[in-house]
C-alpha cells in the first residue's frame, strides 16, 4: 500500500472509530492519577467505586481498548469511559498498567466443606475461587441443605464468596428408576428452589422423562455422561443444556462399543480413569460420526463444558504432584484426599504407568480437536475446573483450564470469552453478566498485566515475569543478553476481584488462605 493511501485509510479509520464508538465505552484518556487515600478496603460495600485508567477486555472476543475509567454504582457498571461531572467515588482503584476484564463464570465446581469425611473450611475454597477471578460459580453436585444456605449467604453478601448457582442431584433423592419417579423428582427439585439439575449415567427412557419434565418446569440441565447407554447423541437429541467432561462425546462416535478388557470393573477407579483416557483413541472411533454428533450438539444449542484440567494429572502425574503453590496453599485435608486411595474418587494413581500417561496424552489430542471443531461450528464452550479431585486445587484448576483451551487452539481473547460471555449464556444471565458493559452487574477483575499476553497471569499464585530496569516487559522484547537490568521476577496475579461492586483484594484473600493452611497443618502436627 502506498504511504499516502495508507495515511488516508488511517484517518478514515480514526474518524470511523470516533463516530461508531459504542455508547458508554469510549476509549478516552483517563484523568489525573488516583488519590492514594481512596484505595478501597477489602470486602467493603461501596455505593460508588471508580476504576481509573484501565485497559479493558470487554468479554465478547473483541480486542481490548483503553485506557478507560469504569464507574461502579450500587453494584452495577454505571459508565465505561469518562467520569461524569459531579460523580464522586468513595473509593478508587488505579488501574494504570493493568487490564480489567469481566469476572469469570466457572461453570463446573463442587462446593466442598469436607474431603473424604474430614472437614475443610468452605472459606478456603471460596477465597481461592475469588482469588482466581471467579465471581460466579455453577455448583454441579454438593449437599443441597448446606449449599442452599451458602447460596443465600453469598447473595446477601454475608459470606466472602462468588455468586453461587446450584445444579443439583436432589431430584433423585426419592428414587430414579422409573420415569414417573424421575418426573416427581424434577418437580420436587423445582419446589426446593434449585437453579438447575445435574444428572449422570442414565438409561435413555429415564433421561427422556427427565429432560421433558425439566423443560416443563423451566429448569436447565447439566449431564455428566458416564460410559453407559446414553451418549452425547442421546442427550443432544433430547435437548440437554450442557454436557460436562468428554466421555459421552467419544462414545457417540464409536462404531459399536468400547473395546475394554474382560476384567474391566467400573467401580475400580484405576480401571475407570485408565480406560476413560482411551475413549478418543478407540480403534473403532469414527471421525465422521464424531463430526455428526458435534453438529447435533450445535444444532440443539448444547453447551460443552469440557473440564480439561481435571484430568491432566493422568497425562503428567509427577507434575501434578509437585506444583509450587502446594507449599503455602494446599490444605492438608485436600492433600490427604489426593493421596492414592481407591476409596477416594479420582485418587487412582497406584502404579500409574507411562503407557497410561501416553494414552491419555493421545486422547487429549483428539479431544482438543473435537473441542476446536465444535467451537468453529458455533458451539458454546465454557470454563469449568471441577477441582477438589485429582490434584486439582480450586481456582488453580480454573486458570489451568484456560491454558488448556489455548492449547486446544484458541486465542486468549476467545478463551476469556469462554470464561465470561459464554458462561453467562449457559446460565441464562447473558443480559446482565459476562461483559464490561454499562448497566451490567459489576463483576470485574483488575489484573496485574495483560492476560492476553499470558493467561497464566490469572493464577492466584502469580507467575514468572521478565523485568527490565524494574518494569515488567514482554520476553520477546529486543533485549541484549548480559544486560544487568534484565531480571527474572515473580509477578502477575489478579489484584482486585470485584463482585457486584464489592472489591475483594486478592493478596489479602491469599494471605487468609495461607493462614488457614498453616493452622490446619499445625493442628495435625499436634495430634500426631
Which spans of this chain sit near Zn ion (rule: CB under 5 A)? Answer: 386
Query: Which residues, listed in sequence order, are joined to residue 49 by a DSSP beta bridge?
Result: 72, 91
- Smallest distance from Zn ion to CB 432, Å: 26
The least CB distance from residue 314 to Zn ion, in Å, is: 15
β-bridge mates for residue 84, sequence order: none
- Whose Cβ is closer to Zn ion: residue 237's or residue 386's? 386
Question: Does residue 336 contact residue 521 with C-beta atoms inside 8 Å?
Answer: no
Shortest Å distance, C-beta 388 to Zn ion: 8
Least Cβ distance, residue 304 to Zn ion (angstroms): 14
Task: Determine how many CB atoms are found less than 10 A away from the CB of residue 499.
Answer: 25
- Asked whether the beta carbons of 185 and 152 are under 8 A apart, the reply is no
- 516: number of Cβ within 10 Å: 18
Is residue 189 within 8 Å of residue 166, measured between CB atoms?
Answer: no
C-beta closer to Zn ion: residue 94 or 386: 386
Nearer to Zn ion, 389 or 496 (CB): 389
Residue 110 C-beta: closest distance to Zn ion, Å: 6
User: Cα dist. 409→167, 439, 453, 516 in Å?
Assistant: 29, 33, 15, 38
Measure the CA–CA gap between 192 and 171, rounded to whole angstroms: 10
- Which residue bears the cell 493421596? 339
Give whole-number Cα distances, 327 to 338, 437, 518, in Å. 15, 39, 10
CB of 141 to Zn ion, least distance (A): 6
Residue closer to Zn ion by CB (options 386, 443) is 386
What sign has the CA pseudo-torsion 267, 268, 270, 274?
negative
Which lies closer to Zn ion via its Cβ, residue 114 or residue 180?
114
Residues paired with 276 in a beta bridge: none
Please state the separation of Cα 54 from the chain's center in Å: 23
Residue owning grid cell 419434565: 213
- The residue whose Cβ lies closest to Zn ion is 386
Nearest distance from residue 384's CB to Zn ion, in Å? 8
Amino acid at each position: 500500500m502506498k504511504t499516502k493511501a495508507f495515511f488516508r485509510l488511517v484517518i478514515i479509520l480514526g474518524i470511523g472509530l470516533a463516530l461508531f464508538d459504542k455508547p458508554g465505552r469510549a476509549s478516552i484518556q483517563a484523568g489525573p492519577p488516583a488519590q492514594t487515600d481512596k484505595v478501597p478496603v477489602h470486602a467493603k460495600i461501596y455505593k460508588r467505586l471508580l476504576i481509573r485508567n484501565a485497559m479493558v477486555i470487554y468479554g465478547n472476543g473483541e480486542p481490548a481498548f483503553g485506557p478507560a475509567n469504569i464507574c461502579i454504582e450500587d453494584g452495577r457498571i454505571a459508565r465505561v469511559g469518562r467520569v461524569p461531572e459531579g460523580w464522586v467515588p468513595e473509593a478508587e482503584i488505579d488501574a494504570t498498567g493493568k487490564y480489567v476484564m469481566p469476572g469469570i463464570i466457572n461453570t463446573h465446581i463442587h462446593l466442598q466443606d469436607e474431603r473424604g469425611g474430614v472437614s475443610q473450611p468452605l472459606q478456603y475454597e471460596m477465597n481461592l475461587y475469588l482469588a482466581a477471578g471467579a465471581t460466579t460459580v455453577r455448583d454441579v453436585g454438593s449437599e443441597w441443605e448446606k449449599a442452599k444456605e451458602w447460596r443465600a449467604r453469598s447473595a446477601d453478601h454475608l459470606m466472602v464468596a462468588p455468586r453461587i448457582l446450584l445444579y443439583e442431584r436432589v431430584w433423585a433423592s426419592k428414587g430414579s428408576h422409573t420415569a414417573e419417579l424421575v418426573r416427581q423428582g424434577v418437580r420436587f427439585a423445582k419446589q426446593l428452589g434449585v437453579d438447575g439439575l445435574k444428572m449422570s449415567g442414565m438409561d435413555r427412557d429415564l433421561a427422556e422423562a427427565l429432560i421433558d419434565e425439566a423443560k416443563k418446569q423451566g429448569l436447565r440441565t447439566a449431564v455428566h455422561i458416564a460410559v453407559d447407554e446414553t451418549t452425547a447423541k442421546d442427550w443432544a437429541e433430547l435437548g440437554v443444556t450442557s454436557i460436562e467432561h468428554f466421555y459421552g462425546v467419544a462414545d457417540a462416535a464409536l462404531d459399536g462399543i468400547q473395546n475394554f478388557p474382560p476384567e474391566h470393573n467400573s467401580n475400580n477407579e484405576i480401571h475407570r480413569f485408565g480406560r476413560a483416557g482411551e475413549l478418543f483413541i478407540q480403534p473403532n472411533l469414527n471421525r465422521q460420526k464424531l463430526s455428526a454428533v458435534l453438529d447435533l450438539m450445535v444444532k440443539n444449542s448444547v453447551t460443552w463444558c469440557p473440564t480439561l484440567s481435571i484430568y491432566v494429572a493422568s497425562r503428567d502425574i509427577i507434575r501434578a504432584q509437585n506444583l509450587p503453590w502446594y507449599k503455602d496453599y494446599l490444605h492438608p485435608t485436600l492433600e490427604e484426599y489426593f493421596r492414592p486411595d481407591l476409596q477416594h474418587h479420582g485418587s487412582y494413581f497406584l502404579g500409574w504407568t507411562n503407557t497410561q500417561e501416553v494414552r491419555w496424552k493421545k486422547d487429549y489430542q483428539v479431544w482438543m480437536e473435537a473441542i476446536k471443531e465444535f467451537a468453529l461450528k458455533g458451539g458454546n464452550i465454557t470454563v469449568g475446573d471441577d477441582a477438589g479431585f485429582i490434584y486439582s486445587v480450586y481456582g488453580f484448576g480454573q486458570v489451568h483450564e484456560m491454558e488448556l483451551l489455548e492449547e486446544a487452539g484458541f486465542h486468549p481473547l476467545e478463551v476469556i470469552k469462554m470464561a465470561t460471555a459464554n458462561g453467562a449464556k449457559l446460565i441464562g444471565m447473558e443480559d446482565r453478566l459476562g461483559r464490561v458493559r454499562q448497566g451490567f452487574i459489576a463483576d470485574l477483575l483488575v489484573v496485574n498485566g495483560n492476560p492476553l499476553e499470558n493467561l497464566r497471569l490469572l493464577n492466584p499464585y502469580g507467575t514468572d515475569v521478565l523485568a527490565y530496569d524494574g518494569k515488567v516487559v514482554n520476553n520477546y522484547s529486543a533485549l541484549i543478553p548480559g544486560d544487568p537490568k534484565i531480571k527474572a521476577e515473580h509477578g502477575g496475579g489478579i489484584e482486585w476481584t470485584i463482585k457486584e461492586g464489592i472489591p475483594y483484594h486478592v493478596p489479602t484473600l491469599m494471605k487468609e488462605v495461607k493462614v488457614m493452611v498453616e493452622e490446619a497443618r499445625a493442628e495435625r502436627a499436634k495430634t500426631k
